[in-house]
């Protein structure tokens, strides 16, 4: 019997997550005997719990295709981690109620680590609540920290943005360093894994180019060594460019910039490494410096997206549908890198049981001996992921975006209270 599908976006969005959505929706149309409509959750899995389902069949093919060039989350995302079934069975029962009411037999969850955990839990509904559901998690995270997959859609474009911004900013600082700014600090995302900070090394054309210092979560911050390094670089080059991950920790294991606030996943809110380092440099070295935080810009810069990353994003969406109609459940389409010198890749299914709650950090073998940079092995891994351009269409000097109708399906159940 033909079943409808539910697709939801989760966690922090990327510049290519909508490309995954577009590819998935278009691929689903090829399986009309098995998949009816594709409903998108308004604001992620909240859309399922609150029965706020967007009917993507009401959108034109042109509008769906236009999603490939749109950053952000077209249907809305959220940070909501479902508890274990034993802790809050009612949440899962509600999902089943909504799925039954709207004849949903396929669930596609597009997100990162916490989303993989949620998808794994939902995939167990078939056994525990006796409801037939095919649940496929789809990889997405600029942090690039999902296990098994070679890389994560969204990361390549963020890496391209960071490397480009680092190069451009370093030229600015260099040109003014004789009489003005001596140190520039760029703060990038990365709580426990330094992939994004590491990608700034792609700005280098030689070993002496910026960034001169990269601070990674995998390397314990040593204040004395850091200050000495900055001082020596400014003395020899006249200026110093630093790229710091937001998740850099001290010898006690505490984040350098840690607040008392928590996000919806229970993670400590970060942000503030750059001003922390700036204050340190002011105090210890009395050097004029500037800092910047990439923040949302690094994950939303669709105008400079990597073509490789875009192709990855589309491929995982397409394969998610193919796996679902084959009857697979509790898997994720992952990117597998070829073994030759020339960069090649393919998509394969991997069990969520080996991905959920597993964090892939930057390997020690990618980090320079002094801990302040990455090496040639890291560059070899990173370089292919930023290759190729995928410029959007422009109108009046800015990217052209299509508006979606975002028509919701009529509710059939009582209102849900979180």
How far apart are alpha carbons 135 and 77 in whole angstroms? 18
How do residues 13-56 score in pLDDT, each as one tens digit? Answer: 999 999 999 999 999 999 999 999 999 999 999 999 999 999 99
Q: What is the mean pLDDT of residues 317-336?
A: 98
Local confidence band at 85 (pLDDT 50, 70, 90 cut-offs): confident
Q: pTM score, two decimals?
A: 0.95
Host H or E run for residue 287:
none
128 phi and psi angles, rounded to 5 deg: -80, -35
- Does residue 271 register a pLDDT over 50? yes
First to last CA, the chain: 32
CATH topology of domain 3-140+305-358+389-399: Rossmann fold (3.40.50)
Query: Of 96-105, 121-130, 397-406, where does mean pLDDT reach its minimum?
Result: 121-130
How far apart are alpha carbons 239 and 176 in whole angstroms? 9
What residue has token string 């990162």?
112
CATH topology of domain 155-302+368-386: Rossmann fold (3.40.50)
Residues that constitute the known binding site? 12, 113, 141-143, 189-191, 246, 296-299
How far apart are alpha carbons 153 and 139 in whole angstroms? 7
Q: What integer pLDDT is reported at residue 320 of this predicted model?
A: 98
Q: What is the mean pLDDT of residues 308-329?
A: 98
How do residues 388-401 score in pLDDT, each as one tens digit? Answer: 999 999 999 999 99
Local confidence band at 260 (pLDDT 50, 70, 90 cut-offs): very low
Q: What integer pLDDT is reported at residue 80 of this predicted model?
A: 87
How far apart are alpha carbons 349 and 372 in whole angstroms? 36
Local confidence band at 270 (pLDDT 50, 70, 90 cut-offs): low
**Domain layout of the chain by residue ranges:** 3-140+305-358+389-399, 155-302+368-386
Helices 155-176 and 307-325: crossing angle in degrees, nearest 10, is 160
Residues that constitute the known binding site for substrate? 141-143, 189-191, 246, 296-299
155-302+368-386 matches 3-140+305-358+389-399 in CATH topology:
yes
Cβ density class 400-415: b for 16+ within 10 Å, e for less: ebbebeeebbeeeeee
3-state secondary structure of 178: coil
How far apart are alpha carbons 146 and 359 in whole angstroms? 6
Instruction: Tell me if the bond preceding 211 is cis, omega within 30° of 0.
Output: yes
* Residue 150 known to be catalytic: no
Q: What is the mean pLDDT of residues 162-182?
A: 97
Among 143, 145, 150, 309, the active-site one is: 143
- Does residue 269 register a pLDDT over 80? no
């Amino acid at each position: 019997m033909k079943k409808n599908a539910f697709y939801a976006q989760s966690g922090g969005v990327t510049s290519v997550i909508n490309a995954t959505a577009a590819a998935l929706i278009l691929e689903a149309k090829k399986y009309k005997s098995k998949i009816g409509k594709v409903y998108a959750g308004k604001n992620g899995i909240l859309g399922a719990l609150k029965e706020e389902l967007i009917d993507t069949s009401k959108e034109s093919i042109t509008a769906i295709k236009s999603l490939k060039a749109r950053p952000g989350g077209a249907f809305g995302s959220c940070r909501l981690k479902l508890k274990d079934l034993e802790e809050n069975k009612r949440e899962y029962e509600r999902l089943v109620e909504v799925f039954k009411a709207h004849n949903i037999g396929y669930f596609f969850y597009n997100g990162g680590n916490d989303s993989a955990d949620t998808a794994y839990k939902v995939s167990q509904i078939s056994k525990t609540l006796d409801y037939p559901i095919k649940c496929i998690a789809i990889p997405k995270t600029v942090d690039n920290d999902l296990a098994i997959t070679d890389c994560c859609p969204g990361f390549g474009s963020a890496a391209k943005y960071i490397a480009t911004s680092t190069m451009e900013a370093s030229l600015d600082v260099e040109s003014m360093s004789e009489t003005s700014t001596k140190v520039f600090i760029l703060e990038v995302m990365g709580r426990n894994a330094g992939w994004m900070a590491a990608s700034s090394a792609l700005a280098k054309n030689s070993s002496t180019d910026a960034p001169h210092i990269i601070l990674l979560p995998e390397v314990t911050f040593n204040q004395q060594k850091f200050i000495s390094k900055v001082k020596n670089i400014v003395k020899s080059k006249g200026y110093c460019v630093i790229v710091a991950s937001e998740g850099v920790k001290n010898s006690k294991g505490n984040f350098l910039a840690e607040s008392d606030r928590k996000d919806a996943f229970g993670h400590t809110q970060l942000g503030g490494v750059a001003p922390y380092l700036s204050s340190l440099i002011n105090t210890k070295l009395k050097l004029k410096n500037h800092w910047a935080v990439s923040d949302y810009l690094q994950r939303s810069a669709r105008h400079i997206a990597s073509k490789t990353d875009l192709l990855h994003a589309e491929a995982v969406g397409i394969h998610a549908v193919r796996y679902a109609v084959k009857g697979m459940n509790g898997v994720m389409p992952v990117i597998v890198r070829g073994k030759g010198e020339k960069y090649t890749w393919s998509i394969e299914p991997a069990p969520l049981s080996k991905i959920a709650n597993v964090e892939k950090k930057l390997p020690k073998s990618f980090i320079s001996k002094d801990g302040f940079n990455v090496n040639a092995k890291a560059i070899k891994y990173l370089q292919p992921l930023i290759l190729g351009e995928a410029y959007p269409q422009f109108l009046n000097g800015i990217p052209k975006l299509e508006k979606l109708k975002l028509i919701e399906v009529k509710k059939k159940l009582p209102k849900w209270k979180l």
